């Protein structure tokens, strides 16, 4: 093992906390629906027109960029026909958005296939290591009140500085790619027992790949531990879908992904603005 890693390991086994500083922002709900096309087509044209108008009006109110925004996508394949992505200020507001959709006439023709509940999140490995080392050098103990106060202060600073990334608008890109993921805890590869400094190194290497594609792909990470069945949700946005494949493939060779990542199902959609709903729904 590389001497640096040995040193890190020793440090870790002393008192370096394992949990990275993390700041949270918007509450996020992904809703995937299958359209009951046969029943929908069986409706009279006027009833369909009315239902589309109502749905387009509701979506039209929700889709402008801002702190409370929803976007609609048509999905490719059998996993669903429509994907709604809601960014809100709280779970209460997500519940209200969900209920609002459910009360549309169109809802009678939508069958939920799956969904994902999460909160926009930034994991701050660099800052964590810097702060923890500094506090340790000052002789503080992780279970002390002073430590907690310093951590809370640092988090508050980050929340303020990172507000635009914590409460983002939904990128206007043509395509979305959504998937959930876990960090492995089985067998020899256990992310949660890897020392902080080593995790930081891997996350840094991982981020390098992301930065190469920054001009083509926008990424929003949300945390879902305690909220849904995987640990994180990943949303990628781009005007061409090929970079989705390229960035994820290239990342798969990173140690953080190759060894420690488990991926859930992938969903690919094409943005469907309120004004085009009438075209899609015929």
Give the footprint of a copy of itself on residues 234-273 (CB under 8 A).
236, 241-242, 244-250, 252-253, 255, 257-259, 261, 265-266, 268, 270
Residue 3 or 187 with smaller CB distance to a copy of itself: 187
Q: Binding pattern to a copy of itself, positions 101-140, x when CB under 8 A?
A: -xx---xx---xxxxxx-x---------------------
Should residue 100 be labelled a site residue for a copy of itself when binding is judged by CB under 8 A?
Answer: no
What is the smallest separation between the CB atom of 255 and a copy of itself, expressed in angstroms? 8
- Residue 72: is it exposed, middle or buried by C-beta count within 10 angstroms (0-12/13-18/19+)? buried
The alpha helices in 104-262, defined as continuous H runs, are 125-137, 145-161, 163-166, 196-212, 242-251, 255-258
Question: In the 8-state DSSP scheme, what is residue 224?
Answer: -
What is the smallest separation between the CB atom of 47 and a copy of itself, expressed in angstroms? 14
Taking the C-alpha atoms of residue 116 and residue 229, their distance in angstroms, rounded to an integer, is: 8
What is the smallest separation between the CB atom of 65 and a copy of itself, expressed in angstroms? 23
The CA angle 243-59-34, to the nearest 5 degrees, is: 65
Using CB under 8 A as the binding criterion, the count of chain residues that bind a copy of itself stands at 73
User: Of residues 8, 63, 228, 235, which one binds a copy of itself by CB under 8 A?
Assistant: 228
What is the smallest separation between the CB atom of 184 and a copy of itself, expressed in angstroms? 8
The alpha helices in 162-254, defined as continuous H runs, are 163-166, 196-212, 242-251
What is the helix (H) or strand (E) element at residue 39, kind and residue range? helix 37-42
For the question of residue 179 being annotated catalytic, the response is yes
């Amino acid at each position: 093992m590389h001497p640096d890693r040995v040193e890190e390991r020793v440090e870790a086994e002393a008192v370096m906390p394992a949990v990275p500083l993390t700041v949270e922002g918007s509450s996020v709900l992904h809703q995937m629906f299958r359209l009951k096309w046969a029943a929908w087509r069986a409706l009279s044209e006027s009833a369909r027109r009315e239902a589309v108008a109502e749905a387009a009006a509701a979506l039209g109110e929700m889709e402008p960029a801002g702190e409370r925004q929803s976007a609609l996508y048509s999905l490719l394949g059998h996993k669903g026909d429509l994907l709604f992505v809601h960014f809100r200020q709280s779970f209460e507001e997500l519940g209200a958005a969900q209920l609002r959709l459910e009360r549309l006439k169109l809802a009678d023709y939508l069958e939920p296939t799956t969904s994902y509940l999460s909160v926009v999140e930034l994991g701050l490995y660099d800052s964590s290591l810097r702060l923890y080392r500094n506090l340790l050098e000052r002789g503080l103990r992780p279970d002390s009140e002073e430590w907690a106060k310093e951590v809370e202060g640092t988090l508050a600073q980050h929340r303020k500085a990172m507000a635009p990334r914590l409460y983002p608008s939904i990128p206007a890109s043509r395509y979305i790619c959504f998937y959930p993921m876990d960090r492995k805890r089985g067998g020899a590869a256990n992310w949660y027992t890897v020392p902080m400094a080593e995790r930081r190194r891997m996350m840094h290497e991982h981020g390098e790949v992301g930065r190469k594609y920054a001009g083509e792909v926008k990424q929003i990470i949300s945390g879902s531990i305690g909220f849904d069945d995987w640990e994180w949700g990943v949303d990628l946005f781009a005007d061409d879908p090929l970079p989705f494949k390229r960035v994820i493939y290239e990342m798969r060779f990173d140690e953080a992904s190759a060894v420690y990542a488990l991926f859930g199902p992938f969903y690919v959609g094409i943005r469907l603005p309120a004004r085009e709903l009438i075209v899609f729904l015929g």
